[in-house]
A and B are shown apart, each in its own frame.
Chain A
Amino acid sequence: MGLNLVVLVKQVPDTQNITGDAMKEDGTVNRQALPAIFNPEDLYALEAALTVKDLYPGTRVNVLTMGPPPAVQVLKESLYRGADFVALISDRRFAAADTLATSYALKCAIEKIGNYDMVFCGRQAIDGDTAQVGPQTAEKLGINQITCVSEINNIDTDKKSVEATRSIEGGFEIVKSGFPVLLTFTDEGYVPRPPSAIRMLSYKNASTEVSTEAFDESYMDGEMSGSAGNNLQLWDIEAINADVEGCGLSGSPTKVKKIMSVVLTSGDIKMVDNDMGGIAEMVHELIADHTIG
């Protein structure tokens, strides 16, 4: 028997591979130089869903992302890997959403899909590292959660339950929960599959067509687009029946007061000769100031 799965993904700036170009002269980060990527742990969540689909034919994998129009790229990549349906939740009124407002919009979109068995997402996104959106969405849906899952061990389709291994400090837990349940995944237990060339070709035209239509014009006038049955859709606030007050800035209790770039301070580095004389002098200084005994 097939299951109905929802996977939440995010497009993020690649903060993990900061190289020469990405650092400005003053030691701060040049965000423009960072490529936008599929949030790494979300790829593991998608892989977990596709693995379930492989095991239980008839399973439907729905992928949702919230973000500006270019975020459609992670949806296309999801289709190329095997997703059945994808939707971009995008509306100017979602702008400046914190994790609470984000989880509210995601909850509305998940309820639009309806009748789901499990919701999968990455444990956290590399731009914020909060790990909050998963649990906040589960609470809003009123369902159980299993966070930090490395792997799904077993699914019982008759009893409608899942058993998973989750990572905890210094070890692991094996836990079981009935459906519906939300799982957040770490990058430990799966190997994300590459995009399928055949699927890329078959979706290439379809998605381009939809994206021109839905992600340029209709985004501007906030109109719903994409015909029924289309497997790539754009959903705005009205499409997911969300209350405007709960979205974007007005639905976000946290405000950023101040941002400080981490500037690399070169301070007073003492270069030491890489010979016995230089090293011995340094050791002597460290003993003299009681750094080493």
Chain B
Amino acid sequence: MSTKNTVMVFIQQDDGIVADVSLELVCKAKELAGELGAKVSAILAGDKLDAEAKRVISYGVDELFLVEDKRLAHYTPVPYTKVVRDIIVAQQPQIVLYGATTTGRDLGPRIASNLKVGLTADCTDLQIGDHKIKEQLYKNILYQIRPAFGGNIIATIVSPEKLPQMATVREGVMKIVEPDASYKGKITKVDPKLEDGDFLTEIIKRVREEKRVNLKGAQIIVSGGIGVETRANFKLIEELAHVLGGEIGASRAAVDAGLVSQPHQVGQTGTTVRPRLYIACGISGSIQHRAGMAESSKIIAINSDPDAPIFQIAHYGIVGDLKEIIPQFIKAYKAKA
């Protein structure tokens, strides 16, 4: 096999700042590389990224390919596809990982299509193992593990016949480790081979707000569903979250009903969370919602319907009217704490 023994990560930057998910992937790549006896490499493209390149290396990158060009300051599909594709072809890594962000899911499929290799979307776990196709045994290949079919099944996908094996990985699922500023990695500058005709997308305006709702980092989340019924009742959810020092979450149904804004949404189309405590109030527990919170250490379900599916994954269940239960919860907590 002519493939070099490296696990490569596409490093996403937005406005010159490296995305958290890319650092999470470097940490995961380090772990996979350890199992494979491989090195970690990375691709970072943009403009004026020296400091960020050094920061990426401190998470455990052995060689970072840095592509600097003013025209690459913001991600656009065609030029980035060319740049990343050329580096992959030259370096022949055995694995390439992308964040499952808007950018990663825009770029990854184009690279896969160009190279005619496999790509598994939105993975929530990656492992190394063996796989047999007919009589041929493939050793130490990448198991790409992802939910599918609306979160109803967990599929393990493999693509050992054509390298690199590629995956986009969901944000927030891989653990980030402390960086080591003394980590010895090399920065290799690459001159992009781009023509003006490659720049087909013109970005007219770009508006990004920093997330004010920090669900991912919250240790305690109090979530409301459609069973909360009114905005006035939702105040109870907010009050309980405030008293416990937690964040406010919601189901998609509650967001769609206008009880609370979208950034609070937990679940497959919202944020995936794994807090120490998740309190689901008036949430029936659809597959989509559970996919985003089932990993919580402790789950309390409060629901008037004793048959609500949420009770099937809860550690504590309280059947009844949340308008009566939440005030008692707050009272009990204030009395004990």
Closest to A15 in B: B150
- The interface residues of chain A lying within 8 Å CB-to-CB of B10 are none
Bound complex: CA of A209 vs CA of B206, how far in Å?
Answer: 50
Q: Is the CB of B244 within 8 A of A292?
A: yes
CB < 8 Å: which of B105, B118, B319, B329 contacts A147? B105
A26 to B300, CA, bound (A): 23
**Least distance between B169 CB and chain A CB atoms (Å):** 13
Q: A135-B110, A291-B277 are in contact. Are A280 and B332 (CB under 8 A)?
A: yes
Query: Is A254 touching B157 in the complex (CB atoms < 8 A)?
Result: yes
Closest-by-CB residue of B relative to A252 is B118
Q: Is the CB of B287 within 8 A of A169?
A: no
Q: How far is the CA of A201 from the CA of B88 in the complex (A)?
A: 54
- Complex interface residues of chain B between 117 and 159 (CB less than 8 A to chain A): 117-122, 131, 133, 143-144, 147-159
- A123 to B137 Cα, complex, angstroms: 36
Chain B residues with Cβ under 8 A from A100's Cβ? 112-113, 116-119
Contact A171 B149 (CB under 8 A): no
Chain B positions within 8 Å of A, measured between CB atoms, are 76-78, 81, 101-103, 105-110, 112-114, 116-122, 131, 133, 143-144, 147-159, 161-162, 200-211, 220, 244-245, 268, 276-277, 286-288, 291, 297-298, 300, 309, 311-321, 324-325, 328-329, 331-333, 335-337
Name the B residues within 8 Å of A177 (CB-CB).
200-202
Q: Contacts A178-B200, A282-B316 given; indicate if A168 touches B102 (C-beta within 8 A).
A: yes
Tell me which residues across on chain A come within 8 A of B76, comparing CB atoms: 175
Contacting pair B312 A271 (CB below 8 A): no
Q: State whether A126 touches B150 (Cβ < 8 A).
A: yes
Interface size class of chain A, counting residues whose CB lies under 8 Å from the partner chain: 35 or more
Confirm or deny: A158 has a beta carbon within 8 angstroms of a beta carbon on chain B.
no
Whole-angstrom distance from the CB of A1 to the nearest CB of chain B? 22
A125 to B201, CA, bound (A): 25
Q: Is the interface of A mostly helix, strand, loop or mixed?
A: mixed
Nearest CB of B to A42, in Å: 16
A230 interfacial contact with B, CB 8 Å: no
The total of Cβ contacts below 8 Å across the A-B interface reads 249
- Which of A134, A255, A284, A293 makes the CB contact (< 8 A) with B159? A255
Closest chain B residue, CB of each to CB of A258: B156
Distance A257 CA – B205 CA, assembled complex (angstroms): 43
A259 within 8 A of B: yes
Q: Does A99 contact B (CB under 8 A)?
A: yes
Q: Could you show 24 A-B contacts with beta carbons less than 8 Å apart?
A: A13-B149, A99-B112, A100-B113, A100-B119, A127-B148, A135-B113, A136-B110, A148-B102, A167-B102, A170-B211, A254-B144, A254-B157, A255-B133, A255-B158, A256-B155, A257-B156, A260-B155, A265-B313, A272-B317, A274-B321, A276-B332, A279-B329, A291-B276, A292-B277
Partner of A127, one of B101, B109, B150: B150
Set B105, B112, B121, B316: member contacting A272, Cβ < 8 A: B316
A293 and B286 CA atoms in complex are apart in Å by: 30
- Contacting pair B122 A268 (CB below 8 A): no
Interface of B is mostly: mixed
- Chain B residues with CB under 8 A of A264: 309, 312-313
* B156 → A minimal CB distance (Å): 4
Shortest C-beta distance, A182 to chain B (Å), equals: 10
Which A residues are CB-close (under 8 A) to B116? 100, 253
Q: Are B150 and A98 in contact (CB under 8 A)?
A: no
In the complex, A13→B152 CA distance in Å?
12
Q: Is the CB of A280 within 8 A of B112?
A: no
Cβ-defined contact, A293 with B153, below 8 A: no
Asked if A132 is an interface residue, CB under 8 A from chain B, the answer is: yes
A240 within 8 Å of B by Cβ? Answer: no
Which residues of B have CB within 8 Å of A260?
Answer: 153-156
B105 near A132 with CB under 8 A, answer: yes
**Contact B315–A170 (Cβ < 8 Å):** no
* Interface mask (A135-179 → B, CB under 8 Å = 1, otherwise 0): 111111000111110000000000000010011111111111110
Q: Is A16 an interface residue (CB 8 A)?
A: yes
Q: In the complex, are the beta carbons of B297 and A146 less than 8 A apart? A: no
Question: Does the CB pair B318–A278 fall under 8 Å?
Answer: yes
A292 nearest CB neighbor, chain B only: B244
A135, A138, A144, A258 — most chain B CB neighbours (10 Å): A135
